[in-house]
Structure 1
Amino acid sequence: MSNAVTLRLTKELSEFSKNPDDQLFLHYDDSNIMNIKAMITGPPDTPYCLGQFEFSLQFPKDYPTSPPKVLALTTNNTRTRFNPNIYAGGKVCLSILGTWRGNPGEQWSSAHGISSILLSIQSLLSDQPYRNEPGHDLETDSTKLESYNQKIRHETIRISICDRLESFLGINQNAPLITYGSTSSTESGTSSSPSSSPNTTSGSTTLVTPVGTPNSSGTPSSTSATFLCEPVYASSVSPSDEFCDLSKRLFLTYYDIYQNTVQTELALIKDGTGFYKAPFEYGGNKMDGNFNYTSLSKRLEIIKRAIDQETVDWIAQSKEWISSSSRMSSNLRRQLEQIQEYNRENSNVGIQIELCDDNPFVWTFTLFGKPMSNYDGGMFNVQMVFHNSFPDIQPRVKFCTPMYHVHVTTDGVPFYTVDKPDDVRHHIESIYRLVLEDEPLTNPSTHVNIAASKLYFGTKEQRREYNRNARRCASRSIEYFE
């Protein structure tokens, strides 16, 4: 690898990190930046809505004279073609990559780079991907367009979300039964062995819900449920995947949206209905299958419970991390002291922070609403749970006090970005800005509370209703401290 190529890629990666995108993510090894992995979440309001799609980028020795080789990795083990331009075998057809002839002026040039490649791929994940196929770009038959969208919508959740997260979590879909919400063994009497990976659950097929944790309907869970599960088709990911932790955190923020998509489609499409076959699908380069949204809904719920259980497991494991005097235990205590000192010197910071049971891996802090804002007078308690591998594994954050906000799920999980992921103060300040600032971001990929976002970005009367709901939320928050 020449110095020129190294300098070029290093510069691009630096610029990418300085301008983070809510839907584009990179992972690479500093010792070999010629091979990069990327994850793109599907744009909202498309059949790919918030799906998690991975790609590999292999850069040639004469880059940027020649483009990198790009391969799609989310293909259901080369069985599923997610787009007319993204083949089941992983080929990505784009003129700037030299994999499609394109029109004059659309070919690769040294002006292109990592960002333009990812944005070009993301543009393929459109609201009408059927029209990406040459010769069908002017298709006006709405039945064909929507029928093609429907199966992509289903497979986005099945393959890029359910299969993917189940692989990360070690959920065995081949087992005849999966039981959760109970401390007893599964009815089948089997369980998998514990996993040593810090990114996985304890490996048991019995997933226990923390006491008082609300389920997807908002009510506390006290009973177990048993589901028959269909076999899962193994994907190309594993618990050691570079995006494992990121995928779990994104799942927690997008869970309600995935379930909303499932329930909406379930009302329209009967389970067992076969997929529509487009005229340009052939041989192994297609998307075959049947709809089964009932199964997907259950699988999503099991995944949600498993990730929530992971957080509970971290708290239990933290006792060992503390007793072993781990470096991270000392690091977190030191960061807490620095933050508390910073807050004392800056009296305008409306945050109170403490450890739960003197545990450096479990922080609780109270956010005070900004005067003259929707949250004026509000007090919101937030829990932040750390893993011993922080910052490689980012903290799990949740509002313990109900929070009504476009960027906070109904379950209390905030969508936020942080420029210094290893600095806890930056995490807390990013979360505080959600309460401090009344105006949510316009990017729809950050709108994780469906009902709240519809009101806020709706009519003037709907906006007023949103403001009323936020003020009521602030008023009621005091009750949780009495």
Structure 2
Amino acid sequence: MSNAVTLRLTKELSEFTKNPDHQLFLHYDESNIMTIKAMITGPPDTPYCLGQFEFSLVFPKDYPTAPPKVTALTTNHGRTRFNPNIYAGGRVCLSILGTWRGNAGEQWSSAHGITSILLSIQSLMSDMPYRNEPGHDLEKDMSKLEPYNQKIRHETIRISICDRLEGFLGTPTASTSAIFEPLYANSVTSYDEFSDLSKRLFLAYYDIYQHTVQKESAVVSDGTPFYRAPFEFGGNKMDGKFGYASLAKRLEVIKTAIERETLEWISQSSQWIKDSTRMSSNLRRQYEQICEYYRENNTGGVEVELVEDNPFVWTFTLFGKPMSNYDGGMFKVQMVFHDSFPDIQPRVKFLTPMYHVHVTVDGVPFYAVGKPDDVRTHIIAITRLILEDEPSTNPSTHVNLEAAKLHFGTKEQRREYNRNARRCASRSTEYFE
């Protein structure tokens, strides 16, 4: 690997880190940045809505003169074709990758890079992926677009979410063996690069997955065979039957398992404290520094404490911004840490009900941090949710469907959102009595 290639990739990775995207994620070993693993969450309002799709990128020695080899990894063991351009065998057909003929100006050039590749792949996950197939007749094929979308919605939840998370959670217990499918569990483990991220995203998007299941189950009956597109053949297809009742139950069991895992961290923390682990000392030191920071800055907006003097379990109270929807509100948030922090990020939840576009109905906030090892940046990011006047317009961050619909809807709907937020704030003090 030449120094020029190393410098180019290092620069791209640095830029990617500085500009985090809510739907694009990378993992790599600094000792070998020629091989990178990526995860893309499917765009909202498409059949791939918030699914978790992994890809590998292997860079050649003459990069960026030549493009990397990109392989789709979320293929149900090579049995499922998720897109006309994403094959069951892992092939990703894109003109900028040199894997598909394109028009002039669409081929690979050194101006392309990691981010543009991932965005190009994500663009394949459109609202009508059937149209990605070359030569399709728009009028003739119109009736095929939705049947093709329907099976992608189903398999996105079954394969990229249920199969995936069940694999991360390990071997199913006797009580869940009828729901979990251990076949996929053999291909991923709890040590997978994205397992922690996938679990946190699952908690944030759980309501959306269940909403999709409920909506689609009213349209297509369980047991109905999938539509097969003309371009699907041999092993390069997406075959199966709809089974939304099973998916609803599987999603519920996965959520329960992840929440139980968080409780296990709290139980295990007593041993981590007893062993005086490095992270036990690190978190206690950060707690002391954060308390000092808020005392010195005299912000009056945050109060932090350890639960039973446990450095792995924090709570902090946020006070609503004056003259805002949350004026007068007091909101308690819990953060539970693992001894492997920051490789394993904290599980965060509002203990006080919070009505907000970026907070789920049961209190899981959607937020991003630039310094994942700095607890204060987590607190600041969560605090910002209720201090900023306007939530992000990025739909991938809208984890409360009702709140998002009202806030970004008509004027009357916006007023209803504001009323709900103010009620939330006025009732919040009841939880401190």
Instruction: Please say whether Structure 1 and Structure 2 have the same fold, judged by a TM-score greater than 0.5.
Output: yes
1:332-481, aligned counterparts within 5 Å?
Answer: 332-481=283-432
Q: Which residue identity is paired with 1:104?
A: A
Please give the alpha-carbon distance, in whole angstroms, between the structure 2 residues aligned to 1:318 and 1:241: 23
Please give the alpha-carbon distance, in whole angstroms, between the structure 2 residues aligned to 1:348 and 1:355: 19
Partner of residue 198, structure 1: none
> SS at 1:276's partner residue?
coil
Instruction: Please list the CA deviations of residues 58-93 of structure 1 after superposition, one character each: whole Å capped at 9, or x if unmatched.
Output: 000000000000000000000000000000000000
Cα 1:127–1:259, aligned 2, differ >3 Å: closer, same or farther?
A: same
Instruction: Please list the CA deviations of residues 163-193 of structure 1 after superposition, one character each: whole Å capped at 9, or x if unmatched.
Output: 00000001428x5x42xxxxxxxxxxxxxxx
Q: Which residue identity is paired with 1:255?
A: Y
Q: Which residue identity is paired with 2:305?
A: E
Partner of residue 60, structure 2: 60
Please give the alpha-carbon distance, in whole angstroms, between the structure 2 residues aligned to 1:366 and 1:142: 53
Partner of residue 184, structure 2: 234
Cα 1:137–1:432, aligned 2, differ >3 Å: closer, same or farther?
A: farther
Query: How far is 1:232 from its partner?
Result: 5.1
Is contact 1:96–1:109 with CA below 8 Å preserved after alignment? yes
Does 1:277 find its partner at 2:213? no
> SS at 2:184's partner residue?
coil
Cα 1:115–1:472, aligned 2, differ >3 Å: closer, same or farther?
A: same
Partner of residue 256, structure 1: 207
Partner of residue 47, structure 2: 47
Query: How far is 1:142 from its partner?
Result: 3.7
> SS at 2:332's partner residue?
strand
Is contact 2:167–2:182 with CA below 8 Å preserved after alignment? no
Please give the alpha-carbon distance, in whole angstroms, between the structure 2 residues aligned to 1:466 and 1:260: 20
Is contact 1:131–1:139 with CA below 8 Å preserved after alignment? no
Does 1:106 find its partner at 2:106? yes
> SS at 2:70's partner residue?
strand
Percent identity of equivalent pairs:
79
- Find 2:249's aligned residue among 298, 309, 318: 298
Please give the alpha-carbon distance, in whole angstroms, between the structure 1 residues aligned to 2:190 and 2:327: 43
Does 1:121 find its partner at 2:121? yes
- Find 1:308's aligned residue among 259, 267, 291: 259
Query: How far is 1:233 from its partner?
Result: 4.2
TM (norm. structure 2) is 0.98
Please give the alpha-carbon distance, in whole angstroms, between the structure 1 residues aligned to 2:140 and 2:328: 54
Please give the alpha-carbon distance, in whole angstroms, between the structure 2 residues aligned to 1:462 and 1:33: 48
Instruction: Please list the CA deviations of residues 34-57 of structure 1 after superposition, one character each: whole Å capped at 9, or x if unmatched.
Output: 000000000000000000000000
1:178-257, aligned counterparts within 5 Å?
Answer: 178=176, 228-229=178-179, 231=181, 233-234=183-184, 236-257=187-208
Which consecutive unaligned segments of at least 5 residues does structure 2 have? none
Please give the alpha-carbon distance, in whole angstroms, between the structure 2 residues aligned to 1:400 and 1:264: 29
Specify which structure has the higher proportion of helix. Answer: 2
Cα 1:441–1:319, aligned 2, differ >3 Å: closer, same or farther?
A: same
Is contact 1:76–1:233 with CA below 8 Å preserved after alignment? no
Query: How far is 1:136 from its partner?
Result: 1.2
> SS at 1:36's partner residue?
strand
* Alignment: residue pair count: 432
Please give the alpha-carbon distance, in whole angstroms, between the structure 2 residues aligned to 1:140 and 1:16: 42
Query: How far is 1:105 from its partner?
Result: 1.1
Partner of residue 210, structure 1: none
Please give the alpha-carbon distance, in whole angstroms, between the structure 1 residues aligned to 2:195 and 2:115: 22
Q: Which residue identity is paired with 2:134?
A: P
Query: How far is 1:5 from its partner?
Result: 0.2
Instruction: Please list the CA deviations of residues 338-377 of structure 1 after superposition, one character each: whole Å capped at 9, or x if unmatched.
Output: 1111101111240000000000000011000000000000
Query: How far is 1:137 from its partner?
Result: 6.2
Which consecutive unaligned segments of at least 5 residues does structure 1 have? 179-204, 206-227
Instruction: Please list the CA deviations of residues 362-409 of structure 1 after superposition, one character each: whole Å capped at 9, or x if unmatched.
Output: 001100000000000000000000000000000000000000000000
Query: How far is 1:230 from its partner?
Result: 6.6
Q: Which residue identity is paired with 1:420?
A: K
Please give the alpha-carbon distance, in whole angstroms, between the structure 2 residues aligned to 1:99 and 1:138: 24
Please give the alpha-carbon distance, in whole angstroms, between the structure 1 residues aligned to 2:140 and 2:169: 42
Please give the alpha-carbon distance, in whole angstroms, between the structure 1 residues aligned to 2:181 and 2:42: 25
Query: How far is 1:138 from its partner?
Result: 3.0
Moved more, 319-328 or 138-147: 138-147
Partner of residue 153, structure 1: 153
TM (norm. structure 1) is 0.88
Instruction: Please list the CA deviations of residues 205-241 of structure 1 after superposition, one character each: whole Å capped at 9, or x if unmatched.
Output: 8xxxxxxxxxxxxxxxxxxxxxx43745416422111
Moved more, 101-110 or 316-325: 101-110
Query: How far is 1:143 from its partner?
Result: 2.6
Please give the alpha-carbon distance, in whole angstroms, between the structure 2 residues aligned to 1:148 and 1:474: 44
Q: Which residue identity is paired with 1:345?
A: E
Is contact 1:130–1:137 with CA below 8 Å preserved after alignment? no
> SS at 2:311's partner residue?
strand
Please give the alpha-carbon distance, in whole angstroms, between the structure 2 residues aligned to 1:80 and 1:149: 14
1:324-335, aligned counterparts within 5 Å?
Answer: 324-335=275-286
Query: How far is 1:139 from its partner?
Result: 4.8
> SS at 1:280's partner residue?
coil
Instruction: Please list the CA deviations of residues 134-178 of structure 1 after superposition, one character each: whole Å capped at 9, or x if unmatched.
Output: 0116356443100000000000000000000000001428x5x42
Please give the alpha-carbon distance, in whole angstroms, between the structure 2 residues aligned to 1:331 and 1:471: 38
Please give the alpha-carbon distance, in whole angstroms, between the structure 1 residues aligned to 2:232 and 2:182: 23
> SS at 2:101's partner residue?
coil
Query: How far is 1:337 from its partner?
Result: 0.7
> SS at 2:81's partner residue?
coil
Cα 1:230–1:238, aligned 2, differ >3 Å: closer, same or farther?
A: closer
